[in-house]
A and B are shown apart, each in its own frame.
Chain A
Amino acid sequence: MRKITLSPITRISGLLTIDVFVDNDGPICEANCSGEQFRGFELMMKGRKVTDSVYFTQRVCGICSMAHGYTAARLVKQIYGTELSREAVLLQQAMLGAEFLQNHIRHFYLLVLPDYLDSTLLPNGTGLCRDVRFTGDQQRLLIQHYYSAMEFSRKCHEMLAVFGGKIPHQHGLVAQGVAVEPTADRRMQFLALLKEIREFMEGCMMPDTYLLAQTYPDYFSVGLRPHRFLSFGLFDPELGGHFPAGVCDEGRLEPVNLPEIRESIAFAWFRPSEGGETIPDADKPGAYSWVKAPRYKGCPYEGGPLARKVLLGLTVGTGTMDRIVARTEEAVLIGRWIKEWIMALPEQGSYIVELGQPVLGRAVQVNDAPRGALLHAIAAQGEEVQSYVIITPTTWNFSPKDEFDQRGPAEEALVGTNGREDSLSVQVGRIVRAFDPCLSCGAHIINPKGERLMQINIQA
């Protein structure tokens, strides 16, 4: 058995290395995904003011800062026992939705597509991908759209900035609601940007995605893994378009039961301290990642657009192309929903409230981020954070093995892949990118003792 190190995996957020093991020219028989960075946000949150978490935790992730801000805002709201009006929630959802559009357009065109193109035609591209199947005309058009995607993805962030002030790391969405009222002019500005983006998504991105899928149909059966998916749900079910929460185990759909989640640190660079906390240990023998291994009922679960599609009740495969197609379809769908939410806003509304005093000492909030299931949990003494737990989507998808040697979802998808050495790097890149890895997100999870979240989770 031979080990091949693929490093760095580029066109992702953060730092990722993958080691694969092969026998001669046989399929990949083992894979290790290594998250290569650790910052420790949960340690930093300790002792800060509860309300700081909305702006502070956005700094966990530059590409999905709004998802962290949105989840943290709901967490703070829960601690203070505050209720927001229907219209404030609609506007918050529209802002979160804009972040999804930004993420998905950038992911498809700027990060995924170069894997299937002659990269010497891209700016500063070197090295020829040997498996380019598009015709010259198709490729010219796709590269034109690669450039258009730069424009339309930044416009998604401009939508968000209409109410957020700026983005990444926006200001307007807070626990108290949204600080910017959706006056007629702002609604128009937001919708005008949305219209341009939707035209691009429906006119270019959707056909381009189907063209990719038609041209590389074998990738529906590359990157397969067990049919296990998890979603914390996305958007309020009572306010129109939404994705339901749930777990899917080989076709069986069930509601999510948060106390079934636990994290393993068997192969992560952490060890338990005497005081029961999990502390970083870069020299731990046998460990290979800064990402911990969250498990649901003891098993690895995949999150993200494919999981959300499965939990809508649709029957799909678990291949690389299934992941890519689901992401684009979802973006188009969310684009339609955002318009409905903005149109549903009343002329006059209450968009901002005051927080008052904390009424709870513990809270947990879960909902989906672009890459999958996101959890924020807090224990507070009055207005001061005592402990803060974040489980990000990438910890699910790019988790290392657990104490029972069960692989994480991306590792499962890699094992069994055929590929001669000269094409292995391309294959692994395509499989891994379809998960949309974000290691700046994935790599700072400290959960007391790695034990059941029951300790924190008294609400859910």
Chain B
Amino acid sequence: MTGKDQFAAFCLANKTHPDFSAKLFDNFFGQLTGPKPKFIWFEASACSGDSISTLNAVKPGLGQILCELVEVRFWNALMPAQDDAAIQNLFSTVEEGGFILAVEGAIATKSNGRYAVPFRTENYVYTTEEMVRWMALRARWVVAVGTCAAFGGPSAARPNPGGCLGVGEVVTEKTVVNVAGCPINPDWLIGTLVHLLLFGLPELDEDNRPTLFYGKTVHSVCQRRSFFDARQFAKKLGDPECMISLGCMGPVTGADCPYRLWNDHLNWPVKASTPCIGCTNPGFPDQSTPFYTPLRIKRPDSQPAEDET
């Protein structure tokens, strides 16, 4: 059959389908991936901001993610089931194996993990630490969603009251793909998932973040780079020049925000005349604070982009 005939046959076969576009996505995408992968979103010590940011995804939107991309077996923030039924979904999926495990939040280790209890039964208190260790063993892929899950992040900010660790510090048996960000840009997570499904593990940097999204520094592709090169610096928030003077972390932060943009790709912190605070870094937030203090003062060891000029 020619491409044209194939397309005509496809249209004919789907004539009565109420949501034509969804079917198209399902068919063409489904051919490459087989059945929808089972997906567990597990919330540990977090603010739910990565869940909310994923709800802000546009192409695909949340409806497409839930209906077409993955089969969500557990997602505390959204799943219809609750209570025993929710635990049943989770446990049977883990026993089947072969699922994608997305962990949102850091792993709290203080007091035997009691600082983050995902659920308990009449006679047993589960901790996120033991659950994540167990699930990771049986997962096809483990993805740390957000900077808390990747590196501890704000949940592990000094003095780290909960003894929080990144997922990769707890799960050592397999590669944990770190989709960092506070919160994540939804494109980073969806892009990583699709890469895993279509092509397997993406190329990772030394912090296990996909280079596809984190491979270049914010500074190297910043729209205000010409001001930096001309040594024109902002004096206050809202000014149009380079914000190295206001604590911008762009030179030491790997992320594609300047051209990816946020919230249906309409803005990002520097475009909003405020500095990048380096939220995808392993050292966030402690290495980024005080937020408005210039990099050469708060991190004298760093070389702000001299090699990139």
Contacts and interface: CB of A to CB of B under 8 A. Distances in A.
Interface of A: 3, 5-15, 17, 36-40, 43-44, 48-49, 51-52, 55-56, 59-63, 65, 106, 110, 114, 119, 122-127, 147, 150-151, 153-155, 157-158, 160-169, 171-172, 174, 176-177, 179-181, 189, 269, 280, 282-283, 290, 351-352, 354, 425, 429, 438, 440-441
A161 B161 contact: no
A352 B263 contact: no
Interface in B50-65: 50-53, 55-58, 61-63
B237 A8 contact: no
Contact of B80 (A38, A52, A119, A165): A119
By CB atoms of chain B within 10 A, which of A8, A14, A354 has the most? A8
B47 A59 contact: yes
B122 A61 contact: no
B162 A39 contact: yes
Interface residues of B, number: 81
Interface stretch (B7-15, B211-219, B225-233, B270-278): B270-278
Contacts of B237: 174, 176, 179, 352
A181 B45 contact: no
A63 B269 CA distance: 19
A110 B66 CA distance: 12
A433 to B, nearest CB: 9
B17 interface: no
Interface in B77-136: 77-87, 89, 108, 110-112, 114-122
Closest 5 CB pairs of A and B: A62-B49, A165-B272, A40-B161, A282-B111, A161-B263
Interface stretch (B24-32, B190-198, B289-297): B289-297
Contacts of A168: 47, 49, 52-53, 183
Contacts of A269: 114
Interface of B: 43, 45-53, 55-58, 61-63, 66-67, 71-73, 76-87, 89, 108, 110-112, 114-122, 154-155, 157-159, 161-162, 164, 182-183, 236-238, 262-264, 266-274, 277, 279, 285, 289-293
B56 A43 contact: no
Given A37-B116, A44-B161, A150-B63, A63 B48 contact: yes
Given A37-B108, A43-B159, A147-B63, A158 B264 contact: yes
B81 A126 contact: yes
Given A15-B43, A176-B237, A283-B111, A153 B55 contact: yes
Contacts of B84: 425
Contacts of A6: 82-83
Contacts of A126: 80-81, 85, 89
Contact of A9 (B83, B158, B270): B83
A189 to B, nearest CB: 8
A179 B183 contact: no
B43 A7 contact: no
Nearest to A4: B122
Contacts of B291: 49, 51-52, 55-56
Given A11-B78, A63-B52, A52 B289 contact: yes
A103 B122 CA distance: 33
Contacts of B277: 55, 171
A440 B83 contact: no
Nearest to A57: B154
Contacts of B45: 37, 39
Q: What DSSP secondary structure best describes chain B's contact surface?
A: loop
A280 B110 CA distance: 10
Contacts of A176: 236-238
Nearest to B184: A168
Contacts of B46: 62, 440
B122 A39 contact: no
Nearest to B62: A150
A44 B158 contact: yes
B30 to A, nearest CB: 16
B267 A164 contact: yes
Contacts of A13: 47-48, 51, 77
Given A36-B116, A62-B47, A150 B80 contact: no
B70 to A, nearest CB: 9
6 contacts: A10-B83, A52-B289, A150-B62, A154-B58, A154-B263, A169-B182
Nearest to B82: A10
A11 B289 contact: no
B182 A164 contact: no
Given A61-B48, A62-B50, A52 B121 contact: no
Given A51-B290, A127-B80, A179-B273, A15 B118 contact: yes
A40 B77 contact: no
Contact of B66 (A59, A124, A283): A124
A167 B55 CA distance: 11
Given A49-B290, A51-B291, A151-B61, A171 B51 contact: no
Contacts of A12: 76-77
A164 B272 CA distance: 7
B86 A10 contact: yes
A431 B262 CA distance: 35
A63 B286 CA distance: 23
A49 B183 CA distance: 22
A352 B111 CA distance: 45
Contacts of B289: 48-49, 52, 56
A366 B276 CA distance: 28
A171 to B, nearest CB: 4
Given A8-B76, A126-B85, 17 more contacts: A10-B86, A11-B76, A15-B116, A62-B46, A62-B49, A65-B47, A110-B78, A127-B85, A147-B63, A153-B55, A158-B56, A168-B53, A171-B274, A174-B237, A174-B274, A282-B110, A282-B111
